[in-house]
Amino acid sequence: MKTISHLFIALSVVCTNVVAEVKDYQVIRLIAMKSECQREDLNRFNRDKKSVTFQAKCSNVSHYPDGVKVHCSDRGDERSCKIMTAAKEFNHLKLLQSN
């Protein structure tokens, strides 16, 4: 009986140390659904205990030549993640086209 109670105590200690965290695949899914970036690489930058920032390198540099930056204000909730990089448009290229 003592072993079972010790096991439950050990499990409760382990479970209290678990922290929810935004996973890479969740950010990859957000980038795929909300941008034209074809992700090549993804890096995580932990700024503080509450938020996390991701930088994705895109293989198609037409809209995101410097990649895509995603900021999650709540590191435990993927719904707080927002794409911070706006897609670039090169309007001067349209001037080169003949009508």
Location of structure tokens 């709540």: 74
Rounded average pLDDT over 58-77: 92
pLDDT at position 73 over 90: yes
Alpha-carbon distances of 24 from 48, 66, 75, 85, rounded to whole Å: 17, 19, 12, 18
Phi-psi region of 50 (alpha: psi -120 to 50; beta: other; left: phi over 0): alpha
- Residues 9-63 have pLDDT tens digits of 655 555 555 668 999 999 999 999 999 999 999 999 987 889 999 999 999 888 8
Per-domain boundaries in the chain: 20-82
Structure tokens belonging to residue 83: 């794409």
pLDDT for 72? 96
**Residue 43 φ/ψ, nearest 5 degrees:** -120, 145
